[in-house]
Amino acid sequence: MSRLLLLGGPNAVAHLALSLHSARHAGYLPIAAYIPGDIDKLAIEPQSGLPVLGHSTDTQSILDAIDRCKADAVAVSAGVQLHPQVLRHLGWELASRNVGLIMAPALTDIAGPRIHTQQVAGLPLIHVTTPSLEAGQRVAKRLFDVLVSGILIVLTSPIMVILALLVKLDSRGPVLFRQERVGIEGTHFSMLKFRSMDVGAEARLAELELRNEGKGLLFKIKDDPRVTRVGGVLRKYSLDELPQLFNILAGSMSLVGPRPPLPREVAVYEHDVRRRLLVKPGLTGLWQVSGRSNLSWQDSVRLDLYYVENWSLAGDLIIILRTVRAVFHGTGAY
């Protein structure tokens, strides 16, 4: 692990520290913060809990802080109140001490291919391309959906017949469960699933509200009493979602995309969250391969928005491959 001293404004330092803590596999360990020009003179950064080693804006004070915490590198984040010449001198001093210098701009959830660096008058300007799903890309995604969903329907049809029989024999009621969901640009559609709950499960929602273990707007219960015996197995391995292949073939869903939300969830969406509706909802997505029901509402939204902002066909293929592993592990599915 590289020991990092985080240098920047209070909010930027906190965000960078929390982001690095959630991605420890990257090899960066925030150990302390340095907040130049901070009028509050904080001794501890409250959100991350990192000790604040100083607030002066001169190079020597920053170097003394680096020596005290024995940092391997300094990460300069947004909001840093230092003159560019001070940063330049700091870079020289760090190079002589074999301490790394990392610039961490206030850009979040942007995929690498959208970022380009250009040198202008000695300044490294970062260009971020505007995300767009153009006509050609939409056609390619739709053709991919039709081709793959058609093949999967043919291959899994014997399995779906067996699952339908098991659902029918396990409890009374229809084999398929139809639920209204919200699709691209707010259009409503009927999503298909194998029924995994008792008949009338929706009517019992109010009485189970106090047992809700879901995050944010999501309603989830690990040991939901409405789930049938066969339904528990179907949900664990996402087999109940196989009929959604017909939704994909019909065009209301895609193989990969944000989680298809309920109308009551969309009704209370904040403005930023509505960007999830710019693309079709998916049978799988980043939420499916990153923890499913174990995710917080904030993480679920962040992953969906990341997908919307950074879509690519190659990315879809990677998510589909990761989905196979996630389904066999059954983690976070209930």
What residues does each domain of the chain span?
A: 2-106, 135-329
Q: SS3 of 28, please?
A: strand
Instruction: From 309, 218, 308, select the one nearest 268 (Cα to Cα).
Output: 218
pLDDT of residue 158: 95
Q: What is the pLDDT of residue 144?
A: 94
* Helix (H) or strand (E) segment spanning residue 3: strand 2-7
Task: State the greatest distance between any 2 C-alpha atoms of the chain, in Å, as a whole number.
Answer: 76
Q: What is the mean pLDDT of residues 62-72?
A: 92
Average pLDDT estimate for 219-240: 84
331 pLDDT higher than 60:
no
Q: Is the pLDDT of residue 245 over 90?
A: yes
Of 101-110, 249-258, 267-276, least confident by mean pLDDT is 101-110
Higher pLDDT, 12 or 120: 12
Helix (H) or strand (E) holding 9: none
For the ranges 72-86, 87-101, 193-207, the one whose mean pLDDT is highest: 87-101
In percent, the amount of the chain with pLDDT more than 90 equals: 38
Give mean pLDDT, residues 25-30: 90
Name which residue leads in pLDDT, 153 or 324: 153
Task: State residue 206's pLDDT score.
Answer: 67
Residues of the chain with pLDDT > 70: what percent? 88
pLDDT mean across residues, the chain: 85
Task: State the pTM of this model.
Answer: 0.68
Over residues 260-270, mean pLDDT? 89
CATH of domain 2-106: 3.40.50.1980
**Token pair recorded at residue 330:** 């059954």
- Structure-model confidence comparison of residues 96 and 295, the more confident one: 96
Mean per-residue pLDDT for 186-197? 94
State both tokens at 307: 């997908």
Using CA atoms, how far apart are residues 222 and 228, in angstroms rounded to an integer? 13
Taking alpha carbons only, the member of 290, 166, 77, 35 closest to residue 298 is: 290
Cβ contacts of residue 63 below 8 Å, gap of 6+?
Answer: 90, 93, 97
> Is the per-residue pLDDT at 150 higher than 60?
yes
Give the pLDDT score at 110: 65
pLDDT value of residue 280: 93
